[in-house]
Chains A and B, each alone.
Chain A
Amino acid sequence: MTAAPTAAPNNTPLLEARALSFHRQEEPVFAALDFRLCEGELALIEGDNGSGKTTLMRILAGLLHVDEGELYWRGEPLLQRDRCIGEILFLGHQLGLKADLSPSENLRISLGLHGCREQVSIASALAEIGLSGYEDESVRRLSAGQKKRVALARLLLLPATLWLLDEPYANLDRTGIALVNRLLENHLACGGAALVASHGTVSFHGGEPQRIRMHA
């Protein structure tokens, strides 16, 4: 038997940002941001309105190009997106749901594009997020909170390591907020990682999360 590689994979952060900065038309949105996120960790992105939380999320998801600074995925420079493709799940303000389709039809498209975790089905995911009985209702008729829950069902179904959640608590009621926290705790327990941008106070039971402070 050959010796195991010395670099223990657990010590390599899943995602690392070094001196990340972003400008919009010469105006700095944020500057010199550093953070490391390992598997099983949660990071909260905090900041006032307009401090660049959503911009940061969109950069990490790969929707925006970074101006300066470097991003590393599992220790490798993240220049080409194919290195982490399919491992990042982004849930933004726009939920990406088709209003004319039902929740299960919407989720079936996501599964067709991303694939499905083992031992979950659309029916079980919808039941867990509290939407059983609404499977075949068109999304147009659902309330804002229910739409949000449909989008959250993606977290249960899609096989992603890193969750980027932009305001996951918006529009949700008390049980919905508890649901998001439960989903996060299960995900971290299974070795996943998550970045959460939120204004609301996040009550998280799985240890003290890392905090990333954004300055305008």
Chain B
Amino acid sequence: MNPPGLTTACAAMLRRDLTLAWRRRGDIAMPVLYALIVTMLFPFALGPEDTLLQRIAGGVVLVTVLLAMLLALDAMFSSDIEDGSLEQLVLAPQPLALMLAMKILAHWLTTALPLIVIAPLLAGMLHLPTAVMPVLVLALLLSTPMLSLLGAILVALTAGTRRSGMLLALMLLPLCVPVVIFAAGAVAASQQGLPWLTPIAWLGAALVLLLVLAPLACAAALRIALDA
């Protein structure tokens, strides 16, 4: 008996989660609309003063994207636990951590990527200079996968508990502080014409670390969640 290779299994997982997301396309649009509305509130609350909005634009977009991702995070494993798909995944002759990494990748593709696509629009609404946009997008490309990975660990840890949504936010947001500091730091530095590569490099290093460790932590946490 030969179980299928890793590539086949990874492709099957990724395809499954992307198909499921496509069947529920409305859910993909939700975080995007949320981010649009939240960003729109800032000029109303602070007044249409150009210099003020420009100064806060990078930070506002980053925090808004973070909060929008938080909305969709809760659903990452919950439906799989409810319908027993996770049990089948745990029992499959494939490394669980890798399969979960595919799930996290699918989740990032369906929630974070649309947000990154509209990020220049959000930043434009707050008059962020066009020259800074590439740095903003780069910072988002590095920081959103970290949020997905950190979030996945916490979702796995809180799996099966009631009111896990609020608990998740309370646990995840403090962990996001360094991510926000470095990402916003890069955007601010680029806005002031300073070198912005250092914070980006730090984000990249942290992302690599999380890419390796987060799926393993997720797998361990979900095994414990099932063993109860």
Interface residues of A, Cβ cutoff 8 Å to B? 61-65, 85-90, 92-101, 105, 108-115, 138, 159
B92 at the A interface (CB under 8 A)? yes
Q: How far is the CA of A62 from the CA of B87 in the complex (A)?
A: 10
Q: Which of A63, A93, A94, A95 contacts B91 (CB 8 A)?
A: A63
> Is B87 a contact partner of A63 (Cβ separation < 8 A)?
yes
Chain A interface mostly: loop
Q: How far is the CA of A62 from the CA of B90 in the complex (A)?
A: 9
Given contacts A86-B93, A100-B20, contact A92 B1 (CB under 8 A): no
> Is B2 a contact partner of A113 (Cβ separation < 8 A)?
no
> Is A100 a contact partner of B84 (Cβ separation < 8 A)?
no
> Is B12 a contact partner of A96 (Cβ separation < 8 A)?
no
> Is B83 a contact partner of A63 (Cβ separation < 8 A)?
no
Given contacts A63-B90, A99-B83, contact A113 B19 (CB under 8 A): no
B51 at the A interface (CB under 8 A)? no
Q: What residues of A have a CB within 8 angstroms of the CB of B83 in the complex? A: 94-99
Selected A-B contacts with CB under 8 Å, 25 pairs = A62-B90, A63-B90, A63-B91, A63-B226, A63-B227, A64-B226, A86-B3, A86-B93, A90-B88, A94-B84, A96-B84, A97-B83, A97-B85, A98-B83, A101-B19, A105-B16, A105-B19, A109-B12, A109-B16, A110-B88, A111-B4, A112-B8, A112-B9, A113-B13, A115-B3
> Is B4 a contact partner of A98 (Cβ separation < 8 A)?
no
B190 at the A interface (CB under 8 A)? no
Q: What residues of B have a CB within 8 angstroms of the CB of A101 in the complex? A: 16, 19-20, 23
Interface residues of B, Cβ cutoff 8 Å to A? 1-4, 8-9, 11-13, 16, 19-20, 23-24, 79, 82-85, 87-94, 99, 226-227
Q: Which of B1, B20, B84, B89 contacts A113 (CB 8 A)?
A: B89
Q: What residues of B have a CB within 8 angstroms of the CB of A62 in the complex? A: 90-91
Q: How far is the CA of A118 from the CA of B123 in the complex (A)?
A: 56
Shortest distance in angstroms between B204's beta carbon and chain A's nearest beta carbon? 32
> Is A96 a contact partner of B88 (Cβ separation < 8 A)?
yes
Given contacts A96-B84, A101-B19, A114-B3, contact A108 B12 (CB under 8 A): yes
By beta carbon, the residue of chain A nearest B20 is: A100
Q: Other CB < 8 Å A-B pairs besides A95-B83, A97-B83, A113-B93, 18 of them?
A: A62-B90, A64-B227, A86-B3, A90-B87, A100-B23, A101-B16, A101-B19, A105-B16, A112-B8, A112-B9, A112-B11, A112-B12, A113-B4, A113-B13, A113-B92, A113-B94, A115-B93, A159-B1
Given contacts A65-B227, A87-B1, A112-B8, contact A100 B24 (CB under 8 A): yes
